[in-house]
Amino acid sequence: MYDNDYEYDILGVLRLLRFVQMYRPERAARLVAGETQFSTEQILEFIYYSIEEIFDDCYSEYDEMSGSELMCIYDTVFDEYLDFSAKLMEAHPCSVQAVRRRFEDIVTFFLSDRNCGIFDMTIRYEGNSPQIQLEFAEGYWEPGGLVIALTDLMHYLIRENEHMKQIIEKRSDKIVSLPKHCMEEAA
Partner 1 sequence: MLEFHPEIFTELLHSVPEKIPYCEKPQHSEYLQTEVFDRLRRGETIDLTKLDLNAFDLCHTAMEWSEDHYRGMEQGWQKGFNKMLKLIQASPREKRAFF
Residues that bind partner 1 (CB under 8 A): 1-8, 10-11, 14-15, 17-19, 21-22, 28, 32-33, 35-40, 109-110, 113, 148, 151-152, 155-156, 159-160, 163, 167, 174, 176, 178-179, 182, 185-186
Looking at the DSSP bridge assignments, the partners of residue 68 are 63
Buried b vs exposed e over 154-167: b needs ≥16 C-beta within 10 Å? bbebbebbeebeee
* Smallest gap from residue 82 Cβ to partner 1 (A): 17
Cβ closer to partner 1: 64 or 173? Answer: 173
Whole-number minimum distance, CB 2 to partner 1, in Å? 4
C-alpha angle 8-136-158 in degrees, rounded to nearest 5 = 60
Is 6 in contact with 40 (CB distance < 8 Å)?
A: yes
When the beta carbons of 70 and 102 are compared against partner 1, the nearer one is 102
Kindly tell me which of 96 and 182 has the beta carbon lying closer to partner 1.
182
Work out how close the CB of 114 gets to partner 1 at its nearest, in angstroms, rounded to a whole number: 11
Q: How far is the CB of 119 from partner 1 (least distance, A)?
A: 19
In the complex, least distance from residue 62 CB atom to partner 1, rounded to whole angstroms: 28
> Quick one: 27 or 100, whose CB is closer to partner 1?
27
Query: Nearer to partner 1 by C-beta: 6 or 141?
Result: 6
**Could you give the CA distance from residue 103 to residue 110 in angstroms, rounded to a whole number?**
11
The C-alpha atoms of residue 126 and residue 15 are separated, in whole angstroms, by 30
Largest Cα span, the chain: 70
Identify whether the C-beta of residue 145 lies closer than 8 Å to the C-beta of residue 8. yes
